[in-house]
Amino acid sequence: MSRNIQDVVFVDSVRTPFGKAGSALAETRADDLVVKVFRELLRRNPDLPADRIDDVAVAATTQIGDQGMTIGRTASLLAGIPHTVPGYSIDRMCAGAMTAVTTLSSSIMAGAYDIALAGGVESMSRHPMGDGMDPNPRFISERLVDTDALVMGATAENLHDRFPQLTKERTDAFALGSQRKTAQAYAEGWIQRDLVPIATRSQDQGWGLLTEDESMRPETTLEGLGQLKTPFRPHGRVTAGNASGLNDGATAALLASESTADDLGLTKRMRMVGFAFAGVEPEVMGIGPVPSTTKALERAGLSIDDIDLFEVNEAFAVQVLAFLDHFGIADDDPRVNPMGGAIAVGHPLASSGIRLMNYLSRDFERHPEARYGITTMCIGLGMGGTVIWENIGHDGSKA
């Protein structure tokens, strides 16, 4: 039996507000965070019969405890999705949710699925980075990777070494911009549209309600950024101010073939054009989005000049600037992260890929003149991932 290649559309996405590790969401189970975003997606899309979902994939970097036990399946059952809908787990470190989207989309493209649900979660409170890891000693003893490869902040310092033009002054200025753009997007009500309020509980402080990202610092100044410590190297350049924090949060996205979305009357926010993942030296993992974007553009028959909007994950400001420098894009180009990014709102590892897509879908809504956009991110142990999207609401004008 032959199958036709199907176009994949991004129907909708939501996320929890991102909490600071050890704070508002510290006593909330990771699987319960996924349940909340799944239920909200189904509530927002009442024309979707839940039993029409073909598969569920949820990513987590640390797959133990409440982030283990095939969380794609367990969270689906807990959310009330029919038991006839299967589910599984994914791990590609920071690009877990991105990989959940691309893996499920590949099945839709091939005609094996019509509708799929992707998600990502990370509770860095309950499962700190590296919790339960047992790296093979051969990595170090046989010098397969540099020791810095296992410390993300050290890899960011290495990028500063490799590209001296990426100064601390530039990274601090970029970080300040992220905070200001995030504050502006909140003021205009764009980010709140896709946030799912989360009831919080604390043995010390009782019950509460988290309705916005906890890490934001709109009062940030360049002077204040310049005085922060450099924890990864004496007299270094990476600080808590020009890097993303340690966070808790979950994201979810609804994907469908375009024909199925039309049949069910589902919203179509953007269409997947293509994607690519690429590997780089683990000790400079932040450069990963450069080859993955190059590969994705080549496969799609596009150039960087065709891209009207960029959502680049801000794991570290230096890694975003390395990407921008490579492609000749100015540090303050308004096409880049128009609503701010992870430096301001946080980076709960495996969940962040869908957060980027969520932002891009809203970027497209705000900019109907934009036709193509990308979501891209660096990935631990030396990788990059990029997805190219087309604005279904493109009005035909030139961006």
Q: What pLDDT digit, counting tens, does each position of 228-272 carry?
A: 999 999 999 999 999 999 999 999 999 999 999 999 999 999 999
- pLDDT score of 93: 95
Q: What span, in angstroms and rounded, lies between the C-alpha atoms of 3 and 110?
A: 7
Determine, yes or no, domain membership for 382.
yes
Residue of 127, 160, 367, 378 with catalytic role: 378
Whether the predicted model's global pTM rises above the 0.75 cut: yes
Determine, yes or no, domain membership for 301.
yes
Q: Is residue 130 over pLDDT 90?
A: no
Any catalytic annotation for residue 127? Answer: no
Angle at 104 between CA 101 and CA 107, to 5 degrees: 145
Q: What span, in angstroms and rounded, lies between the C-alpha atoms of 156 and 283?
A: 9
User: Which secondary structure element, helix H or strand E, spans residue 90, and what is its range?
Assistant: strand 87-90
- pLDDT score of 145: 83
CB 353 within 8 A of CB 99: yes
Determine, yes or no, domain membership for 307.
yes
Determine, yes or no, domain membership for 199.
no
Torsion sign, CA atoms 128, 133, 139, 141: positive
**Closest C-alpha among 225, 123, 194 to residue 358:** 194
**Closest C-alpha among 153, 160, 172, 163 to residue 217:** 172
Q: Is residue 1 over pLDDT 60?
A: no
Q: Among 37-51, 54-68, 200-214, 218-232, which is the least confidently predicted range?
A: 200-214
- pLDDT score of 136: 87
- pLDDT score of 206: 81
- pLDDT score of 139: 82
Q: How far are the Cα atoms of 32, 178, 388 from residue 332, in angstroms, in the given order?
A: 38, 10, 21
Q: How far are the Cα atoms of 37, 84, 101, 255, 388 from residue 262, in angstroms, in the given order?
A: 23, 24, 20, 12, 22
Angle at 155 between CA 154 and CA 160, to 5 degrees: 95
CB 80 within 8 A of CB 51: no
CATH code at position 362: 3.40.47.10
| The total number of structural domains that make up the chain | 1
- pLDDT score of 399: 67
Residues 6 or more apart whose Cβ sits within 8 Å of residue 150: 130, 135, 139
Determine, yes or no, domain membership for 65.
no
Determine, yes or no, domain membership for 206.
no
Determine, yes or no, domain membership for 62.
no
Q: What are phi and psi of 278, to 5 degrees?
A: -145, 155
Q: Is residue 2 over pLDDT 80?
A: no
The mean per-residue pLDDT over the stretch 25-45 comes to 97
Residue of 94, 127, 160, 367 with catalytic role: 94
Q: What span, in angstroms and rounded, lies between the C-alpha atoms of 59 and 136?
A: 23
- pLDDT score of 46: 96
Look-up of token digits 């970029």: 174
Q: How far are the Cα atoms of 45, 301, 346 from residue 122, in angstroms, in the given order?
A: 25, 35, 11
Determine, yes or no, domain membership for 319.
yes
Q: To the nearest 10°, report the CA torsion of 28, 34, 39, 42.
A: 160
Any catalytic annotation for residue 94? Answer: yes
CB 34 within 8 A of CB 252: yes
Q: To the nearest 10°, report the CA torsion of 210, 81, 115, 272.
A: 20
H-assigned helices in 93-200: 96-109, 138-141, 152-162, 168-187
Q: Is residue 121 over pLDDT 90?
A: yes
Q: Among 28-32, 335-339, 377-381, 393-397, which is the least confidently predicted range?
A: 393-397
Q: Is residue 379 over pLDDT 60?
A: yes
Residue of 127, 160, 347, 394 with catalytic role: 347
- pLDDT score of 205: 76
pLDDT band at 3 (very low <50, low <70, confident <90, very high): low
Any catalytic annotation for residue 378? Answer: yes
Q: What span, in angstroms and rounded, lies between the C-alpha atoms of 111 and 5?
A: 6
- pLDDT score of 18: 98
Q: State the residue range of the domain holding 173.
A: 138-189+273-389
